[in-house]
Amino acid sequence: MKDYYKILGITKSANKEEIKKAYRKLAHEHHPDKTGGDGQRFKEVNEAYQVLGNDRKRKEYDMYGQVFDEGGGNAPGWDFGNFSQGFSSGDMGVNFDEIFEGVFGGFGGRHYGRRGRDISIDVELSFEEAIFGAERRVLLNKLNKCSRCGGEGVDEGSKKTRCGACHGSGTIKEMRRSFIGVFSNLKECDSCHGRGEIPEKPCKECAGLGIVKSDEEAVIRIPAGVNNGEMIKMSGGGEAIAGGVSGDLYIKLHVRAHAIFKREGRNLLMDLEIPFSEAVLGNEKNINILDGVIKVIIPNGVDSGEVLRVRGKGVPSERGRGDLLINIKVKTPKRLSRRAKKLMEELKEEGF
């Protein structure tokens, strides 16, 4: 994850005014339209300000090193959302394009240009990993930007020239017949792959395409408190495409069940069996939880089915940790020693 504070050249304790000031200065300095401007730095500075300039996002970033953006699409780094709740509006555009690809050729006049393929993978997590977060490294064999030419497709020392086939527009007009009628349709130029330029001498590694199929390690940070079936979206983690932006990587989470603990929202649930005498007299005992040992006070006279709440020992979340709910189960003794039986009979006489 990028260090947004470093990018803006400020400390973690900077206030809103200082953040704004640093942003303005750097944005001005690196603006790509200026001589000596740096488009990449400009983008970074903007990305940093989008997070640190927003109170909620800054808080999330400080706490988790990432931002949970339900808006999707434009958020820097990680987007995080529940897949079953459907895509956000930004993503819907992608789906529509895929649906209409057959009719309109899937290219031209869109609010975005060429976009690489999305990839989805499945990741299995233990119950503990889902509760406390985890990191996974996965090797993805996919189309990546060519590292030799930086995705430009041009050999070292060579340059690009205007594509003759499309006269530099990157698109070619094409008539299409469909059941609705005849469409005039803009199609990607085959010669330059939509770039409008072709390399004089193509890069030897990627044959001028700017992309190569290779293994790339993706580091997936799974935030604390994820649920089974949830989806994490890693913007730009999908396949690269020549002259366009990379697709996204979707990570579907599968959480294994736990033998003792269950989860209900931010709370953890467990059953605790206690002997009959403990229920009557009460006790103070240590129990193992997912992240350590805690001391629990069993109040005297506790009933089977009563629930003891231990605050702050549940699932971590933005609003702090949930609670641990201990469901008491009183064990009725099945086999008694002679002495125990005698004592029980005495108790019975007493009316217990």
> Where along the sequence are the contacts to Zn ion (CB under 5 A)?
146, 148-149, 163, 165-166, 189, 191-192, 203, 205-206
User: Which residue, 161 or 178, is less far from Zn ion as judged by CB?
Assistant: 161
Looking at beta carbons only, is 191 or 327 nearer to Zn ion?
Answer: 191
Euclidean distance between CA atoms 47 and 43, whole angstroms = 6
Least CB distance from residue 156 to Zn ion, whole Å? 10
Tell me how far, at minimum, the Cβ of 198 lies from Zn ion, in Å.
7
Q: Which is nearer to Zn ion, 22 or 203 (CB)?
A: 203
Select 8 or 189, whichever has its Cβ closest to Zn ion.
Answer: 189
Least Å from the CB of residue 199 to Zn ion: 9
Q: CA-to-CA distance for 213 and 96, rounded, in angstroms?
A: 27
CA dist., res. 245 & res. 113, Å (int)? 8
Q: Give the nearest distance from C-beta 214 to Zn ion in angstroms.
A: 11
Which CB atom, from 26 or from 166, has the smaller least distance to Zn ion?
Answer: 166
Tokens read off for 330: 């009183």
* Residue 53 C-beta: closest distance to Zn ion, Å: 37
| Shortest distance (Å) from residue 170 CB to Zn ion | 6
Q: Closer to Zn ion by CB, 146 or 279: give it.
A: 146
Tokens 């990157």 identify what position? 170
Q: Which is nearer to Zn ion, 245 or 287 (CB)?
A: 245
Dist. CA 192–CA 210, nearest whole Å: 11
Determine how many CB atoms are found less than 10 A away from the CB of residue 85. 10
Whole-number Å distance between alpha carbons of 34 and 25: 13
Q: Which residues have a Cβ under 8 Å from the Cβ of 325 and sit 6 or more positions away?
A: 264, 267, 268, 269, 270, 307, 308, 309, 310
First CA to last CA distance, the chain: 63
| Nearest-angstrom CA–CA distance, 176 and 90 | 29
Work out how close the CB of 109 gets to Zn ion at its nearest, in angstroms, rounded to a whole number.
17
Q: Cβ of residue 229: shortest distance to Zn ion, in angstroms?
A: 39
Among 255, 252, 236, which residue's Cα sits nearest to residue 244?
236
Q: Which helix (H) or strand (E) holds 144?
A: strand 134-145
- Residue 161 CB, nearest distance to Zn ion (Å)? 11
Q: Based on the number of CB atoms within 10 Å of its own CB, is 182 exposed (0-12), middle (13-18) or buried (19 or more)?
A: exposed
Nearer CB in complex with Zn ion: 165/272? 165
User: Which is closer to Zn ion, CB of 30 or CB of 142?
Assistant: 142
Strand locations in 200-343 (E) = 211-222, 231-234, 249-255, 262-264, 267-275, 283-289, 292-298, 307-310, 324-331
Q: Which of 333, 325, 337, 326 is nearest to 280 (CA)?
A: 333
